[in-house]
A and B are shown apart, each in its own frame.
Chain A
Amino acid sequence: MTEPPKPQDAPLSPPGDVTRLLIAWNDGDAGALEHLIPLVYGELRRQARGYLRNERSGHTLQPTALVHEVYLRLVDQSRVKWQNRAHFFGVAARAMREILVDHARKRQARKRGGPDSPISIEDVNPAAAPRNIDLLDLDRTLKRLATLDERQARLVELRVFGGLTIDEAAEVLEISPATVSREWRHAETWLHKEMS
């Protein structure tokens, strides 16, 4: 790969770039990832900004929808296998998590002294999510989980921030879908226990 990494807020790169990098990475070119990451981060951040700005006007932030949108813009669907897609989301999930946590921290710092309202991420379908989960709390708990079981923490990140299915997460983590199901069930329970 000869192309230098682009600065984070670089203009939208043509879909070909990301697609090519994604395929190369999936074929075993570890260096491709180095170039892929800033592209994904940059696009995600740009997209997220719009959503986060509209937060107060009652806009609900939908991280996974955002990731999907970015994916559609960056990757040429006709050229990639679904495994490539899974790996893209693997990268995007981490990026999305960092962007959201960063934003939440800034917002909390701004609000310091005022009444403490937790930053929550909500479901695309709020009816199904009676509870708001505090993002910073989730992030902290996930960090602790990572020290105990890194793979399980990564799984949560992939599913919550990347919107990966069980099969896609299995592909990224290189374990069977059955194991992913089990791990997921435990992760949900453990996080609930720790965060309640």
Chain B
Amino acid sequence: MTPESFARAKTIFLDALERPEAERNAFVSGSCGGDTELEREVATLLESESASPGFLHGLLPASIREGSAPGEAEAIPGTRVGPWTIVREIGHGGMGTVYLAERADREYRGRVALKVVRRGMDTEFILQRFRSERQILASLSHPNIGRLLDGGTTADARPYFAMEYIEGEDLIAWCRGRRAGLSERVALFQTVCTAVQYAHRNLVVHRDIKPSNILVTPEGVPKLLDFGLAKVLDARESGDTSYLTIAGMSAFTPEYASPEQVRLQTITTASDIFSLGVVLYELLTDVHPFRRKDRTPADIARAVCETQPEPPSRAVLEAEGATGSKKARLLAGDLDTIMLMALRKEPERRYASAEKLSEDLQRHFDGRPVLARKDTLPYRAGKFARRHRLVVAAASVVAASLVAGAGVAVWQAKRARASEAVARRRFEEVRALAKTVLFDLHDQIETLPGSTKARATLVSTSLRYLDSLAKDAGPDSALVREVAAGYARLADIQGGPNASLGDPEGALRSRRAAIALLENLAAPGGAAAEDLDSLAAQLDAVGRLLGSSHPDAPAAHARALEIRTALLERDPSSRVFQRGLARSLEASASFHVGRKEFGEALTLRRREHELFAGIAADPAAVSSDRRNLALSDKMLGALLHQTENLAGARALYEEAIALDELRLAENPDSAEARMDLSFSVGSLGSLAVDSGDLSAGRALYTRALALREEVASKDPANAWARRGVARAHERLAEIEERLGHRAAAEAHRFKARLPAA
């Protein structure tokens, strides 16, 4: 931490404390402007503040201690508020302070809970709204609803509300304290549903149902508090948009809010159904469906809108392990389905009323079939974003089982001689699983934007286990081959040609590990062709990572070229060996271009282009063959461009664009195809600029920029796309400069320097 970041966190923390508790989270994420580290720091401070307010208080002599909440005037017992006299403070909530009070003139014998709204809210508006709502709110008369009795203004001009005083504990705390069983919890919840149903019939939506608003009396009667107050206090309704611009959210509790509340859309009775669903979930599982450790309030708000909550039975198992298995069994099936139905993202697909929710619970306990239906797969998998998340989630599950499985296998392989057959079988299972994760699963998510990090985790996890298996397995050439291929795959993700994670050092380490394994395989002579081909590929990749000026690079490329030439001589019609040789030619040519040895480079490039063109012309050619040819077009084109053969270069660039457009049309989700096309377009753009056609150059680079921005916005971790965006801005700045558009040039230059979005 630096003094600067310390000061920023301090300011946001202190400003957040000035706000009602319910608004703080939103205010903090708004103020941090996406700086997650800052946000976490402030969140920890707020947590620490509420966990132990006045940490040093006890160290101070009594004579100098101030009130616990500086800034907020403390109401002193005996103070008059309207016709009420304050007895003591009983709570300190987001909207203000709640006091126990009694009627000053003793006319009304009962005691009331007096909620005094905190300073800083729009008193005039709140009172006006209260006056318009009070008739309805005061008429709500239900044994499970805490009654609103009166409202007014305090002497220091703050609104207050007098409510029926209820001595009780919040719903979840009460159930925990009494170790209430499942049916008792559901019965309490059903009573709450009748209260909500009653209010809904009277056209009052609660808007802020949460456990702390549901008190259970010592006699076990649940009482729902603050009905309608959320609406009265809702800043959104006042047209006071400053709340919205600061926080992006209004004063509700994100943990229990519905997706439409988070999104500031229309709030209906269905919003209360969602909140009831969250309460029920937490009540029956002791796990919150969206709140997790390390999740910031903004994360929670996002999860409310986007994440499918886990079936409650599974959440219990995850939270409690084996001890929760009995509870999980009770929840699995009907109760899972009922809760998930209440928690659906789309308001119209939830239970139509609180009564319907309660009835379905009753059906389950009566042993009758429930009305709730499982969410259908097409609904969940409908949107691309969601589908993608599911794949990644599935991958993580597989990776987790892999970790568990591998541990067992290694352990068994090490000791149990007696059960060697069993160990061997487990070993093979783990190996198969690792292969699945490393290759099949990885390939499935590879082209999806946003998956870079998930892919790296997946691959490195499975590789670690393959590697330890390989050490235990002894000389098993198939296994060694798998591990080598795994290292190569990892290197691609770390810093391959498309440098997704931008980690060239890590890639170099992985490549060298792969080479060491492959050299061992090739050593006994008469090595398999495929191992030699892999070895050549890794040598070229190492040469590339080292760069043209590194003394070890020429030997790596020369050896690769030698291996591949020999392989093709063995079988001249093999497409595999043709591709292999073309790749090594390409690598060597790039090496010479890097050393500005254009003559050598041109000879190598022409041979390479010839091979790729031959492969792509084959009717059996696949998408990757077209990619290879397009890349080769660009490489040869660039060399011609550089050596002033502009017409030759133009034809090649145009061919590359046509090939890339075809590939993107075949696979619109592919980040790689989109980036490839952007570079083909950019190449033609640079040619236009060099031919003197600046406006054509500008149009082409603008198109390239748009393509790259699309990739970068879908996957901010993609370093390749980020660099591409910056480069396009740089080129556009040059063009605008030459066109005499100083301001436009400045703007591009500025954007080129922006950090990753």
- B60→A160 contact, CB < 8 A: yes
User: Nearest-CB distance from A187 to chain B (Å)?
Assistant: 8
Q: Are A163 and B7 in contact (CB under 8 A)?
A: no
Q: Contacts of A64 on B, CB cut-off 8 Å?
A: 60-61
Residue of chain B at shortest CB distance from A132? B58
User: Are B56 and A188 neighbours in the complex by a CB distance under 8 Å?
Assistant: yes
The answer to whether the Cβ of A128 comes within 8 Å of any Cβ in the partner chain is: yes
Question: In the assembly, what is the distance between CA of A71 and CA of B686, in Å?
Answer: 80
Q: Whole-angstrom distance from the CB of A81 to the nearest CB of chain B?
A: 18
Count of residues in B whose CB is under 8 Å from the partner chain: 30
Q: In the docked arrangement, what's the CA distance between A193 and B58, Å?
A: 16
Q: CA separation between A147 and B57, bound complex, in Å?
A: 23
Q: Which of A151-196 contact B (CB under 8 A)?
A: 156, 159-160, 163-166, 181-182, 184-193, 195-196
Contact A160 B70 (CB under 8 A): no
CA distance A191 to B6 in the complex (A): 13
Stretch at the interface among A15-23, A48-56, A108-116, A119-127: A119-127
Known contacts A181-B66, A181-B70, A182-B70; A192 and B55 CB within 8 A of each other = yes
CB-CB under 8 A for A181 and B48, given A128-B57, A149-B7, A189-B55: no
Docked complex Cα distance between A131 and B59 (Å): 10
Q: Is B71 an interface residue (CB 8 A)?
A: yes
Known contacts A188-B54, A193-B45; is A129 also within 8 Å of B13 by CB? Answer: no
Write the nearest CB–CB distance from A82 to chain B, whole angstroms.
13
Residues of A within 8 A of B1 (CB): 148
Question: Is the CB of B14 closer than 8 A to any CB of chain A?
Answer: yes
Question: A163 near B3 (CB under 8 angstroms)?
Answer: no
Given contacts A185-B17, A186-B13, contact A191 B55 (CB under 8 A): yes
In the complex, which residues of chain A have a beta carbon less than 8 angstroms from the beta carbon of B45? 186, 189-190, 193
Please pick, from A130, A166, A186, the residue contacting B58 in the complex, using a CB distance under 8 A: A130
Residue B10 at the A interface, CB < 8 A?
A: yes
Contact status B52-A192, CB under 8 Å: yes
CB distance from B583 to the nearest CB of A (A): 54
Give the docked Cα–Cα distance between A140 and B49 (Å). Answer: 21
Contacts of A160 in B (CB 8 A): 56, 59-60
> Nearest Cβ distance between residue B534 and chain A, in whole angstroms?
52
Asked if B64 contacts A159 (CB within 8 A), the reply is yes
B-side contacts of A166, CB under 8 Å: 64, 66
A92-138, CB < 8 A from B:
121-125, 128-131, 133
Within 8 Å of chain B (Cβ to Cβ): is A10?
Answer: no
Contact partners of B44 in chain A: CB under 8 A: 193
What residues of A have a CB within 8 angstroms of the CB of B48 in the complex? Answer: 189-190, 192-193, 196
Given known A-B contacts A148-B6, A159-B64, A128 and B56 have beta carbons under 8 A apart:
no
Report if A65 contacts B (CB, 8 A): yes
Q: How far is the CB of B291 from chain A (nearest CB, A)?
A: 20
B155 touches A (CB below 8 Å): no
Pick from A122, A148, A164, A191: contact of B56, CB under 8 Å = A191
Instruction: Judge whether B3 and A147 touch: CB under 8 Å.
Output: yes
Residues in A whose Cβ lies below 8 Å from that of B2: 148
Tell me, rounded to whole Å, the shortest Cβ–Cβ distance linking A53 to chain B: 22
Chain A's closest residue to B18 (CB) is A182
- The answer to whether A123 touches B3 (Cβ under 8 A) is no
Q: Which residues of A contact B17 (CB under 8 A)?
A: 185
Q: Are B61 and A188 in contact (CB under 8 A)?
A: no
Partner of A156, one of B14, B51, B56, B64: B56
Q: How many A-B residue pairs have CB under 8 A?
A: 90
Task: Report whether B71 and A181 are in contact in the complex, using a CB–CB cutoff of 8 Å.
Answer: yes
A163 pairs with B14, CB closer than 8 A: no
A124→B63 CA distance, assembly (Å): 10
A185 touches B64 (CB 8 A): no
Asked if B14 and A182 make an inter-chain contact with CB atoms under 8 angstroms apart, the answer reads yes
A185→B18 CA distance, assembly (Å): 12
Beta-carbon contacts of A60-73 to B below 8 Å, as 1s and 0s? 00101100100000
Pairwise interchain contact B70-A188, C-beta atoms closer than 8 A:
no
B64 surroundings in chain A (CB, below 8 A): 159, 163-166
Shortest CB distance B69–A (Å): 9
Give the CA-CA distance A68 to B55 in the complex, in Å. Answer: 23
Q: Which residues of B contact A130 (CB under 8 A)?
A: 58
Query: Contacts A165-B64, A186-B14 given: A128-B6 contact, CB under 8 Å?
Result: no
Closest CB in chain B relative to A112 CB, distance in Å: 27
Question: Does B49 lie within 8 Å of A189, measured CB to CB?
Answer: yes
B69, closest chain A residue (CB): A185
Bound Cα distance A192, B59 (Å): 13
| Residues of B contacting A187 in the complex (Cβ-Cβ under 8 angstroms) | 56
Q: Which residues of A contact B478 (CB under 8 A)?
A: none
Expressed in whole angstroms, the minimum distance between the Cβ of A106 and any Cβ of chain B is: 22
Instruction: Give Cα A152–Cα B93 distance, bound, in whole angstroms.
Output: 28
Cβ B71 vs Cβ A129 within 8 A: no
Cβ of B523 under 8 Å from chain A = no
Residues of B contacting A163 with CB < 8 Å? Answer: 60-61, 63-64
Is the CB of B62 closer than 8 A to any CB of chain A? yes
Which of A121, A149, A188 is close to B57, meaning CB atoms less than 8 Å apart?
A188
For B62-94 the 0/1 string (1 means CB < 8 A from A) is 111010001100000000000000000000000
Residues of B within 8 A of A148 (CB): 1-3, 6
Of B1, B52, B55, most A-chain CB atoms within 10 Å: B55
Measured in the bound complex, the distance between the Cα atoms of B2 and A129 in whole Å is 32
Interchain nearest-CB distance for B40 vs A (Å): 12
A133 near B3: Cβ-Cβ < 8 Å: no
CB-based nearest A residue for B52: A192
User: A90 to B59, alpha carbons, bound, how many Å?
Assistant: 17
- Chain B residues positioned under 8 Å from A186 (CB to CB): 10, 13-14, 45
Q: Is the Cβ of B6 less than 8 Å from the Cβ of A149? A: yes
* Nearest A-chain residue to B1, judged by Cβ: A148
| Chain A residues near B71 (CB-CB < 8 A) | 181
Which residues does chain B contribute within 8 Å of A124, judged by CB atoms? 61-62
In the complex, the answer to whether A129 meets B61 with C-beta atoms within 8 Å is: no
Which chain B residue shows the least CB distance to A165?
B64
| Residues of chain B with a CB closer than 8 A to A133's CB | 56, 59
Chain A residues, Cβ within 8 Å of B55: 188-189, 191-192, 195
CA distance A124 to B60 in the complex (A): 8
Query: In the assembled complex, how far is the CB of residue B62 from the closest CB belonging to chain A, in whole angstroms?
Result: 6
For chain B, residues 26 to 66, give those with C-beta under 8 angstroms from any C-beta of chain A. 44-45, 48-49, 51-64, 66
User: Chain A residues with Cβ under 8 A from B56's Cβ?
Assistant: 133, 156, 159-160, 187-188, 191
Q: How far is the CA of A68 from the CA of B66 in the complex (A)?
A: 19
Bound together, the chains give a CA A165 to CA B65 distance in angstroms of 8
Residues of the A chain whose Cβ atoms lie less than 8 Å from the Cβ of B61 = 62, 64-65, 68, 124, 163
User: Complex formed: what's the CA distance from A102 to B49 in Å?
Assistant: 30
**List of A residues within 8 angstroms of B13 by Cβ:** 186, 189
Nearest-neighbor residue (CB-CB) of A195 within chain B: B55
The CA of A185 and the CA of B59, in the complex, are separated in Å by 14
Q: How far is the CB of B522 from chain A (nearest CB, A)?
A: 57
- Residues of A close to B54: CB separation below 8 A: 188
Residues from chain B with a CB closer than 8 A to the CB of A159 are: 56, 60, 64
- Of chain A, the residue at the smallest CB distance from B60 is A159
| Bound Cα distance A192, B142 (Å) | 45
A64 and chain B: residue at smallest CB distance: B61
Which residues in window 158-194 of B have CB below 8 A to A?
Answer: none
Interchain CA distance A68-B61 in the complex, whole Å? 11
Instruction: Tell me which of B14, B58, B66 contacts A131 (CB under 8 A).
Output: B58
Q: Nearest chain-A residue to B4 (Cβ)?
A: A148
* CB-CB contacts below 8 Å: B397-449 with A: none
- Cα A160 to Cα B59 with chains together (Å): 6
In the complex, 17 of the A-B residue pairs with CB atoms within 8 angstroms, ordered by the A residue number, are A123-B60, A133-B56, A160-B59, A160-B60, A164-B64, A166-B64, A181-B66, A181-B71, A188-B56, A189-B45, A190-B10, A190-B48, A191-B55, A191-B56, A192-B49, A192-B51, A196-B48
Closest 8 CB pairs of A and B: A129-B58, A192-B55, A193-B48, A181-B70, A148-B6, A123-B58, A189-B49, A165-B64
Kindly list 13 other residue pairs between chains A and B, CB separation below 8 angstroms, not including A133-B56, A148-B1.
A62-B61, A64-B60, A125-B58, A125-B62, A129-B59, A147-B3, A181-B66, A184-B70, A185-B49, A188-B56, A193-B45, A195-B55, A196-B48
